[in-house]
Amino acid sequence: MKFYIDGPLHGGEGIYSLVAETGELLAQHYCSHAGYARGDLEANRPARQAEWLAEFGAYEVLVVPAGDMTREELHRRNEAYHLGELAAEATRGNGG
């Protein structure tokens, strides 16, 4: 499983996100610089690491763009994941 760090294009102060390759948003944090994002989102968070290892198995953390994953593709996957969750909630709410 791959997790991707996404944040401000300028790499400075702002909100950074950790998103799984499935599009699931795992964490967000306001960082003063891109250099702190990995630690703030994952590396310095042993409870999160344990939770994600149990849920996803082994994972690696990359910064977008990475390989074939662009910011646009990551955002598309996140939107699709979110819409899928909304559809599932609507189905459950309608007795489905």
Q: What are the strands of the beta sheet with 14-20, ordered from one edge? A: 25-31, 14-20, 2-6, 60-63
Global pTM value: 0.86
Per-residue pLDDT tens over the stretch 23-55: 999 999 999 999 999 999 999 999 999 999 999
The answer to whether 37 and 16 have CB atoms below 8 angstroms apart is yes
Q: Where are the domains of the chain?
A: 2-93
Average pLDDT over residues 53-68: 95
The answer to whether 38 and 48 have CB atoms below 8 angstroms apart is no
Whole-number Å distance between alpha carbons of 51 and 45: 10
Show the beta-strand stretches assigned E in 11-82. Answer: 14-20, 25-31, 60-63
Question: pLDDT over 70 for what percent of the chain?
Answer: 95
